[in-house]
């Protein structure tokens, strides 16, 4: 099973998602051999979102689902993170960046939908009445 490391970046505007292909996902990606989760997250988000830096990263949970592009099973380790910098796409594979409050706003990948639901259940995403930062 492949593994990805993703960032749940939450603000009063919602959760930060990136559009890859036709679906919306959390920023992040796959680690290189021997790379720590945090190093992977910083590298991947830096590659996806121009001129940004992550901070205050802390583990949230692990989720499994089917990937939208290859149709295989992926395990996603999700970390809460704060972000500083511009939020524009920095790579050709990221088509758009958006803050999302309601998962009905855009088509989410299977894993992202599960993560979104878990964050809502745990009180981190509730529209404009989100839980304060962790």
Domain holding 81, by residue range, is 2-121
Domain count, the chain: 1
Name the pTM for this structure: 0.90
CA 115, CA 86: separation in Å to the nearest integer? 24
Residues 6+ away with beta carbon under 8 Å from 60: 8, 78, 79, 80, 119
Is residue 127 included in any domain, yes or no?
A: no
Is residue 110 included in any domain, yes or no?
A: yes
- What CATH number is associated with residue 60? 3.90.79.10
70, 71, 90, 87: which is closest to 11 by C-alpha? 87
CA 14, CA 31: separation in Å to the nearest integer? 26
The per-residue pLDDT for range 16-74, each reduced to its tens digit, is 999 998 999 999 999 999 999 999 999 999 999 988 999 999 999 999 999 887 888 99
Is residue 93 included in any domain, yes or no?
A: yes
């Amino acid at each position: 099973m492949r593994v990805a490391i993703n960032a749940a970046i939450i603000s009063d505007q919602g959760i930060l998602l990136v559009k890859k292909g036709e679906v919306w996902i959390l920023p992040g990606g796959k680690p290189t051999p021997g790379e720590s989760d945090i190093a992977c997250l910083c590298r991947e988000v830096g590659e996806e979102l121009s001129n940004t830096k992550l901070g205050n990263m802390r583990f949230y949970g692990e989720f499994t689902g089917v990937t939208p592009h290859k149709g295989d099973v992926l395990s996603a380790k999700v970390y809460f993170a704060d972000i500083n910098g511009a939020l524009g796409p920095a790579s050709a594979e990221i088509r758009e960046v958006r803050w999302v409050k309601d998962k009905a706003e855009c088509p989410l990948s299977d894993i992202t939908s599960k993560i979104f639901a878990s964050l809502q259940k745990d009180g981190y995403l509730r529209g404009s009445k989100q839980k304060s930062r962790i």
